[in-house]
């Protein structure tokens, strides 16, 4: 049960990035019916799973828009998980309602464990430029897994910086991207780990590719956009 929860949670945090474009946000999917499929790979390039997003219930206009993100995850063993969460945009920043991720549907799949999520959203400004430093983000997760078993996890995203521009080709097409470097600090139980990563972000689409490395800079995992429509 714990491994199932961690798969869902880490997949959500890894891909909780920007996807589309409206007048409210250059990099978040606020278009009703938009669909995104990401495929994840291990360090050897073997497929690990897929995650599909669909944008629904878009309300508002201009600089004030809200929407629901429907998320379907399938791991390499064929297990599937589904949930949805709320996103809002005020013209300056996009906010994700982390608590809405732990809805009744998700908790039923996780065996009714009690989960409390708090934190500061990772923000993507509408205007990016090479050398620009981006705000840090953090997420705190407290889990009660039955009886006296509790588990806490803290994830910080730090040292975020726009490194360069680069063209990237995936099965979904070829995109001109900004490359954003960051470091993710994860604290869970007695285990502390810092993992560098890079995200390739395209205006009007969002995250195209992501790579995670160990502290020596060796590639450990990756994901890329494999289908896209809106």
CATH of the domain at 112: 2.40.360.20
132-136, 151-155, 208-212, 224-228: range with lowest mean pLDDT:
151-155
**141 falls in which pLDDT band (50, 70, 90)?**
confident
Expressed in angstroms, the distance from the first to the final Cα of the chain is: 35
pLDDT in tens, 52-103: 988 888 888 777 888 888 888 888 888 888 878 888 777 766 677 666 665 5
| Contact indicator for 16, 122 with CB cutoff of 8 Å | yes
pLDDT for 19 equals 44
Which residue, 170, 194, 167, is CA-closest to 39? 170
Average pLDDT over residues 160-182: 95
Instruction: Look up the pTM and report it.
Output: 0.80
Please give the residue range of the domain that contains residue 126.
Answer: 2-229
Residue with tokens 């889990």: 143
Q: How far is 198 from 211, CA to CA, in rounded Å?
A: 5
pLDDT for 13 equals 54
Element (H, E) at 166: strand 150-170
**174 falls in which pLDDT band (50, 70, 90)?**
very high
Q: What count of other Cβ atoms lies within 10 Å of the Cβ of residue 174?
A: 11
**179 falls in which pLDDT band (50, 70, 90)?**
very high
Give the rounded percent of residues in the chain with a pLDDT score beyond 70: 76
DSSP conformation letters of 2-41: HHHHHHHHHHHHHH-S-----SS-SSS--STT-EEEEEEE
pLDDT at 166 exceeding the cut of 50: yes
Residues 6+ apart with CB under 8 A from 147: none
Average pLDDT over residues 129-152: 81
pLDDT in tens, 6-29: 555 555 555 554 444 555 667 666
pLDDT for 67 equals 86
The count of domains in the chain is 1
């Amino acid at each position: 049960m714990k491994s199932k929860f961690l798969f869902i949670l880490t997949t959500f945090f890894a891909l909780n990035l920007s996807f589309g474009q409206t007048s409210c946000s250059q990099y978040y999917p606020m278009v009703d019916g938009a669909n995104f499929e990401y495929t994840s790979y291990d360090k050897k390039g073997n497929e690990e799973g897929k995650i599909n997003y669909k944008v629904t219930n878009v309300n508002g206009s201009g600089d004030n828009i809200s929407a629901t993100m429907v998320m379907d995850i399938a791991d390499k063993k064929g297990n599937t998980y589904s949930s949805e969460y709320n996103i809002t945009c005020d013209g300056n920043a996009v906010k994700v309602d982390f608590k809405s991720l732990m809805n009744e549907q998700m908790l039923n799949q996780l065996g009714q464990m009690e989960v409390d999520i708090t934190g500061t959203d990772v923000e993507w400004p509408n205007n990016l430029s090479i050398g620009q430093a981006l705000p840090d983000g953090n997420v705190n997760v407290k889990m009660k897994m039955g009886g006296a078993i509790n588990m806490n996890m803290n994830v910080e995203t730090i040292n975020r910086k726009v490194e360069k521009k680069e063209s990237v080709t995936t099965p979904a097409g070829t995109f001109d991207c900004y490359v954003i470097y960051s470091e993710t600090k994860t604290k869970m139980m007695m285990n502390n780990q810092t993992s560098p990563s890079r995200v390739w972000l395209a205006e009007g689409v969002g995250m195209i590719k992501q790579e995670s490395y160990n502290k020596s800079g060796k590639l450990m995992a990756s994901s890329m956009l494999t289908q896209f429509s809106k």
